[in-house]
Structure 1
Amino acid sequence: MDNDLNVTSFITFAGHVEVEKYRYLYFVIMLTVYILIICSNSTIVYLIWNHQNLHEPMYIFIAALLINSVLFSTATYPKLLIDFLSERQIISYLACLFQFQMLYSLGGSEFLLLAAMSYDRYVSICKPLQYQTFMTKTNVNVLLVVAWLVPACQGVVAVLLSAKKKLCAFTLKGIMCNSTIQKLHCLRTTVLNVYGLVVLVYMVILPTIFILITYTRIFIIAYRSCREVRRKAAQTCLPHLIVLINFSCLSVYDVLLLRLGTEFPKIVSFIMTLQLLMYHPLFNPIIYGLKMKEIYKHLKSLFCKMP
């Protein structure tokens, strides 16, 4: 009976700031950003797919990362655009759980893809003679499947655990269904909290530690090597590190601080959430489009051909 009630319940988003006054401004800005996200990420993916010299593991992982950004944005932007034009910002609990699952599954995939990219760079720079042996097409496909499938399965388990909980509150302080969804439950069980922390450790913390160790090893070897190796390390590794730092900082707010119950002024929470939604998906194609030499070359050629 409780499950049936939960499915038909509606959750109200209370995190919007003066949406009645600025609804059309919000709508235009977010629609413009959403279009830019789709166009910029899709352009880089198209270039990688269309040019044979970009059919290498490093660029394949970049394409996967950009596709992940588009999916992440699509899980939030359409609902936000509807909310800006609506009198009430509401969502069914079932749809809220689905958005929750999508956000955290794709967020976990982001860290795993960055970890796969760091491993690819490590083998390329530190073990160049063994690169073709380690980074085969099969191994690349396995890494991609793991990066998307494992977080998705973890997300489904979290949703199933949450769906069984009875709701005693129907208002979220944010503008999307994030980790604060647990505050709606009448009872917060240890099982769900422990599961969330375990997932956080091996889907976020461990991949981040692996990435940092890997790049530290790369830079140590590059420092001891010739100028060409140092140039290659800086050119291909720095963009990945910048993306990692950017996404990690935004994730700390959404996952850790909100989960710990840290209270923020409404305007601060609103701005931080918008940063996560707007900044990062646009940041990736800019970094990879401008900082990766081969991609930038094809990108420049593409725009030069346009009338």
Structure 2
Amino acid sequence: MVNSTQSSYFALVAYFDTFGYFKYHYIYFMIVMCLYMLIICANVLLIVVICVNRSLHEPMYMFLCSLFVNELYGSTGLFPLLLLQILSDIHTVSASACFLQIFCVYTYGNIEFLNLAVMSYDRYLAICFPLQYNTRMTAKKVVVLIALIWLLTFFVNIFTLTLIVPLQLCGNIINKVYCDNHSVVKLACSDTTINNIYGLIVTSLSVFCPLFLICYTYIKIFKVCFSGSKQTRQKAVSTCTPHLTSLLNFSFGACFEIIQSRFKMTGVPNMLRIFLSLYFLTCPPLFNPVMYGLKLSKIRVLCKGMIYFNWNKS
């Protein structure tokens, strides 16, 4: 299609196999739209509850608020373009929009992993050092950690964009329903050694460093739980269960996306491959606020109170 030049647009060809003759694209549109609305409502509700209630202005809830903001951000990087593409007859996206989506998707993934790692560190301090928790996890430290998560991730992914934008491309066909860095790099005619090395380093650091911290903190937490009182075990279970569930949920989707981006998976049906590639961008933003809202009693009670108050007011 394009011969050793910079593409002004990219074709997202996975839609053609999935939606066929567009017999069901309105149904797909309604399903995706409802999913997006649910994600927005669930995350916004939890963010508002945490922000307006001073009793939730604690480190654990501040990190949760950062998590919910990131999930709104990641969903917004995916769903508006996805909805437009479902209704479109020509599944193309401009180069600038494609690069912007790559930036949003990758920053979302990096922030999610780092945020979950910091949350595990916070639970480690709360359970293993309960008497020193307030001095070790101060409000200033919380702000610094959240700022570092976001700023560092944005800086890393801005540099990723500076490496892929100048690439000379021999094609413009991406076999997915959204843009991703690896798909664009595979289209390059020019040398991509730096891109590949940098991508490998960033992927390794953004996955293995947070996982190492999470594993270390949970080993320490489990040691305290097994040797501690029943009250300590109950506290650990109530606060760590949702965190571990959200970690496993996100890790499954992210690992599948990394694997299927780098290896041909011709044996997997196209519809299933698309669903699994979207999993880490759709399921955590939907399930996390629901799960934390149900599992954490403080949030659950305040959510019920807020909904009940607004219902009576109306």
TM-score range, shorter chain: over 0.9
Moved segments of 4+, more than 3 Å = 260-265
* Structure 2 partner of 1:304: 308
* Structure 2 partner of 1:245: 248
Task: Tell me the CA shift for residue 146 of structure 1.
Answer: 1.1
**CA, structure 1 residues 265+187, in 2 after alignment: closer, same or farther (shift >3 Å)?**
farther
Deviations 1:37-75 (A, max 9, x none): 111000011111111110000001001101100000000
* Structure 2 partner of 1:71: 73
* Structure 1 partner of 2:107: 105
Q: Distance in 2 between matches of 1:220 and 1:299?
A: 34
Task: Tell me the CA shift for residue 117 of structure 1.
Answer: 0.5
Q: What is the one-letter code of the residue matched to 1:145?
A: A
Task: Tell me the CA shift for residue 261 of structure 1.
Answer: 4.4
Task: Tell me the CA shift for residue 256 of structure 1.
Answer: 3.2
* Structure 1 partner of 2:188: 185
Q: Which runs of 5+ in 2 are unaligned?
A: none
Q: Distance in 2 between matches of 1:82 and 1:195?
A: 32
Deviations 1:69-124 (A, max 9, x none): 00000001110111111111111122111110111111100011111111111111
Q: Which moved more, 1:14-23 or 1:73-82?
A: 14-23
- Are 2:227 and 1:224 aligned? yes
Q: Distance in 2 between matches of 1:29 and 1:49?
A: 30
Q: Distance in 2 between matches of 1:152 and 1:261?
A: 30
- Are 2:144 and 1:145 aligned? no
Q: Distance in 2 between matches of 1:37 and 1:70?
A: 7
Task: Tell me the CA shift for residue 130 of structure 1.
Answer: 1.6
Q: Distance in 2 between matches of 1:188 and 1:65?
A: 37
Q: Which runs of 5+ in 1 are unaligned?
A: none
- Are 2:283 and 1:279 aligned? yes
Q: Which moved more, 1:55-64 or 1:295-304?
A: 295-304
* Structure 2 partner of 1:169: 171
Give the TM-score taking structure 1 as reference length.
0.94
Q: Distance in 2 between matches of 1:267 and 1:30?
A: 14
Q: Distance in 1 between matches of 2:77 and 2:215?
A: 29
Q: What is the one-letter code of the residue matched to 2:262?
A: R
Q: Distance in 2 between matches of 1:126 and 1:275?
A: 34
Contact 2:185–2:192 (8 Å) recurs in 1: no
Q: Which moved more, 1:289-298 or 1:260-269?
A: 260-269
- Identity rate of aligned residues, in percent? 36
Identify the match of residue 54 of structure 1 among 53, 56, 69: 56
- Are 2:215 and 1:212 aligned? yes
Aligned to 2:11, the other structure's residue is in SS state: strand
- Are 2:239 and 1:236 aligned? yes
Task: Tell me the CA shift for residue 300 of structure 1.
Answer: 2.0
* Structure 1 partner of 2:156: 154
Contact 1:73–1:277 (8 Å) recurs in 2: yes
CA RMSD of aligned residues (A): 1.7
Q: What is the one-letter code of the residue matched to 2:171?
A: A
* Structure 1 partner of 2:201: 198
Contact 1:15–1:269 (8 Å) recurs in 2: no
Q: Distance in 2 between matches of 1:247 and 1:173?
A: 23
Identify the match of residue 269 of structure 1 among 252, 261, 273: 273
Q: Distance in 2 between matches of 1:257 and 1:210?
A: 26
Task: Tell me the CA shift for residue 257 of structure 1.
Answer: 3.1
Q: What is the one-letter code of the residue matched to 1:224?
A: S
Q: Distance in 1 between matches of 2:39 and 2:8?
A: 32
Q: Distance in 1 between matches of 2:191 and 2:29?
A: 35
Identify the match of residue 23 of structure 1 among 7, 22, 25: 25
Give aligned pairs, total.
304
Contact 1:121–1:237 (8 Å) recurs in 2: yes
Q: Distance in 2 between matches of 1:188 and 1:209?
A: 33
* Structure 2 partner of 1:120: 122
Contact 1:10–1:91 (8 Å) recurs in 2: yes
**CA, structure 1 residues 287+234, in 2 after alignment: closer, same or farther (shift >3 Å)?**
same
* Structure 2 partner of 1:290: 294
Aligned to 1:11, the other structure's residue is in SS state: strand
Give the TM-score taking structure 2 as reference length.
0.92
